[in-house]
Chains A and B, each alone.
Chain A
């Protein structure tokens, strides 16, 4: 069995504790009983929109620090966020370059850390290293856990629920890093939603950006919101009951932006919350009260009222 280190990042623990709860529940003994533990020393990944954008050297150091922790624990990193995935995955790629690795290690020595990668085998005296594996929650669910297992564990019927899935840019692009799903026609999130018993509806411009990434939300919130509005118009036209995404930052954007252009809005949730719902969790534990868009319409439909 593969062993993982949970990497929740910044947004989930500090803004959407319900997502953290449902991830722990789905991967824990009441769910799939995976070997996923916390590391008390993980910091911010760091955010690609801030650190990768302003100083790549610092970005690499901070990311390498997290990677060293996973390397020493000999576990794969299980990210629940597209931003963490893209930042950490890109960092492992940068560190494959001996020049970058040497430069980073010289400074990491000041805090007593060294990045080498995970030793996989030795050829004579020489050890062969492999970069630390960084995985996305969606990928782990669709491949390691498997869709059949998800289907078998479904207790609550989501038959009437129409879901609009949103992958998020950094799950798909740049493609040289993302090899686990088809970047032009991704399927994993749709399949997880279908395995949970809900219907994934197709809508126009499904792979478009939510508008928040790269510092746009922080810089000009109206611009980010107008991109979200376009997405929500298409999602509403497809008659979706809720939006499901694998990225907490997209979740935050959909959740916050909708009040600027619509009264009710479409409920948004993380894929782990939908899974937990399907697996029969009490909806009160999903932390929907921290979401700005109320999930009442969805929960009422679930109860068949």
Chain B
């Protein structure tokens, strides 16, 4: 099976499958089960009608076709599907238009779950989780905005409040209890 490297918008390079011939040794027979475990329960019932691709705002723009991804998942082509996981905008249009009432967006979300567990973690995920365990918010407080808040007569953001420390502790307990800190690799930020 041959791979072709394609350049997407923004210089992102992904290796895509070009040939229709698939070598059996590349298939992961448990891939569909893994997807179902993480919430993509509809993956095997897809009839490949292609409505999802037709309404997908991302499929219009780049070489990412919802229908093909679901097909690859059905085959068990794990390594080819994990490359496309973060381009889904989770707009749920595919779900809205699926004649069989399946939810392809949840399949994409399950792919992200699997990718993260394989150690493929985009840096922005790490940043957001770090912000959450540090400030209790996913967006980092900005000192410039803090000045404008003062001018408008608004209170300081909660995360700047000393009383908020107990909330941050609670968040850290939860993140640690579900082993999420280890999964994302931010154990050193969680100080319990």
Contacts and interface: CB of A to CB of B under 8 A. Distances in A.
Main secondary structure of the interface of A (DSSP, over half): helix
A43 B167 contact: yes
B89 A55 contact: no
B12 interface: yes
Contact of A53 (B109, B145, B153, B171): B109
A173 B92 contact: yes
A40 B96 contact: no
A111 B174 contact: yes
Given A14-B137, A173-B95, A220 B145 contact: no
Contacts of A65: 170-171, 174
B180 A55 contact: yes
A143 interface: no
A29 to B, nearest CB: 14
B129 interface: yes
Which of A52, A62, A223 has the most CB atoms of chain B within a 10 A radius of its CB? A223
Nearest to A69: B167
Contact of A211 (B89, B137, B140): B89
Contacts of A246: none
B148 interface: yes
B4 interface: no
Interface stretch (A129-137, A185-193, A284-292): A284-292
A10 interface: yes
A17 B152 contact: yes
Interface string A211-227: 11111101111111011
Interface in A250-305: 285, 287, 289-290
A215 B124 contact: yes
B58 interface: yes
Contact of A287 (B113, B148, B180): B148
Contacts of A169: 89-93
A149 interface: no
Contacts of B139: 10-11, 14-15
B158 interface: yes
Nearest to A222: B10
Interface string B155-184: 001100101101100110111011010011
Contacts of A51: 129
A222 B138 CA distance: 22
A13 B153 CA distance: 13
21 contacts: A10-B138, A14-B145, A15-B142, A17-B149, A20-B149, A21-B154, A44-B138, A46-B138, A47-B138, A50-B124, A50-B128, A58-B175, A65-B174, A107-B174, A175-B96, A183-B96, A213-B91, A216-B58, A222-B9, A290-B145, A290-B148
Interface of A: 10-11, 13-15, 17-18, 20-21, 24, 40-44, 46-58, 61-62, 65, 107-108, 110-111, 169-170, 173-175, 183, 208-209, 211-216, 218-224, 226-227, 285, 287, 289-290
Interface of B: 8-10, 12, 38-39, 57-58, 61-62, 86-93, 95-96, 103, 105, 109, 112-113, 116, 122, 124-125, 128-129, 132, 136-142, 145, 148-149, 152-154, 157-158, 161, 163-164, 166-167, 170-171, 173-175, 177-178, 180, 183-184
| 8 nearest A-B residue pairs (beta carbon) | A222-B10, A214-B90, A173-B92, A218-B124, A169-B91, A10-B139, A58-B180, A219-B86
